[in-house]
Each structure stands twice: as C-alpha cells, then as structure tokens.
Amino acid sequence: MKISLVAVEPNEQQPCVDCSVRQFSLCAALDRAELRELEHLGRHVHFATCETVFAQEEMTTSFYNLLEGVMRLYKLLPDGRRQIVGFALPGDFLGMTASARHSFSADAIGPVTICRFSRAAFARFIEDKAHLLRRINELAVRELSQAQDHMVLLGRRSAEEKVATFLIGWRDRLGRLSGPAKTVPLPMSRQDIADYLGLTIETVSRTFTKLERDRVIDILPGSISLLDPARVEALAAA
C-alpha cells in the first residue's frame, strides 16, 4: 500500500506542554523543560482513512504517539488471514520494540494525526531520564497485561461473552479520555471486531442482533447504546 504523509506546517505544531493527550501518554512523566526538548524531536504527521502508519516486518526507524483518531493494529498470518491485536487511541505510544523490525502493522481507521519521533533521536533523549524509563516500563507492563487478557478472550469465552468484553473494555478506554457515557462510538467495522475477537463477521453480527433483541444494547449508526450496562458487564465478567 502506498503511504502518503502530509506533515503539519511549523505554525500548526502544537506545543508539547499544551498537548491534549499528554496526561495519557508517556510524556506525562516529563517536566516543562523536558517537553520543550522533546518538541524539537517530534513531527506531526496526518494519515488519511485506511493509510498504513507502519507495516509488519518494516525496519523500525520511528516511534509514534497517537494524537487524534483511532488505529487498528494487526498481524498477517502466512496464509493471508488477519489477526487484529488491538486498537490504538489518543495517548498510545507505538513502535517501541526490542526487534529491529515492526512485529505488527498499524492502519488508520479514520483520519489520524500522530507525533513521529526518530528512533535514534528518541533513544538518546531517554538515556539519562530514569523517570521516563520507569513510565515506559509501566506502559510495557500494562500492554503485557492487555495481551494476556486478549489471549484468554480468544480461547475461553463464548461469542456473547467476547462481544460484551470488547464493548465494556472499549467503553472504559474511551471513558478515560472523554468521561463516562452510555453511547459508545464504534469507528471500527464489524469485520475489524471479528478479527479482534477471533470470530466470523456473521457471528459478530448475530451476537449484536441478539443483544439488541434482548434489549441489552441499541445499535446506532457508528455506535451502540448500552441499555443495560449491568447485563453487559455481567457477561464480560463471566
């Protein structure tokens, strides 16, 4: 896939200290002087819907802090099947890996804006910042915990439990960014959800329809409304 990048003009670059997602990202560990230093390392870049930010097996030359939009993270299996391993939200820091190559791909679900850092420059920046290294370690531990939860989700849950767990998890992640709400935006497609949950798109669609028929959720254009959050939470906790 051809990747077109449109860099933000310098006068459009938002100062790191004023970044709306700073408190959710690894940059929360930095003071004002360090943020000004980081500002000179990053470059804001826009991606259009379905464009690839980075691809599996590409050399890792940059790290990415997601500022706006939602991204799908996925691996392609040797037979061409796709396994979505997660969805990135503003504040997520992507691309850090022990390997020299990306282990998964990242696409823009809708228009996204990222702050891109050179891997080499960022590595030099964090060398003498123990507090930032601790923050990176915290995020790595959280990511590992999420990966373990996803393994259980794929292997030990019914379709209804999988969908409920996804909806509650997604609701909670969005809630941390914008506050609690009963209406949950779903920018990803049913196929994306199926590839994340290890289900077919037909099974996902049937499960959504069943939950709506049971008056647990209401399916809206581009979102769902949790009519009975307690019931969805009970299914997710089963």
Kindly list the structural domains of the chain, giving each domain's residue range(s) and its CATH number in brackets, ordered by start.
6-152 (2.60.120.10), 157-237 (1.10.10.10)
What percentage of the chain exceeds 90 in pLDDT? 58
Q: Which two tokens stand for residue 237?
A: 């906790």
Q: What is the mean pLDDT of residues 7-22?
A: 60
In sequence order, the 6+-apart residues with CB closer than 8 A to the CB of 54 are 60, 62, 64, 94, 95, 102, 105, 106
pTM above 0.95, yes or no: no
Tell me the per-residue pLDDT of 73-108, one tens digit each, with 9 for 90 and over: 999 988 888 999 999 999 999 988 878 899 899 999
The region of weakest confidence among 29-38, 63-72, 226-235 is 29-38
Q: Is the dihedral of CA 230, 231, 232, 236 positive or negative?
A: positive
Strands (E), the chain: 6-7, 42-47, 52-54, 62-68, 71-76, 82-88, 93-94, 105-108, 112-118, 183-185, 217-220, 223-226
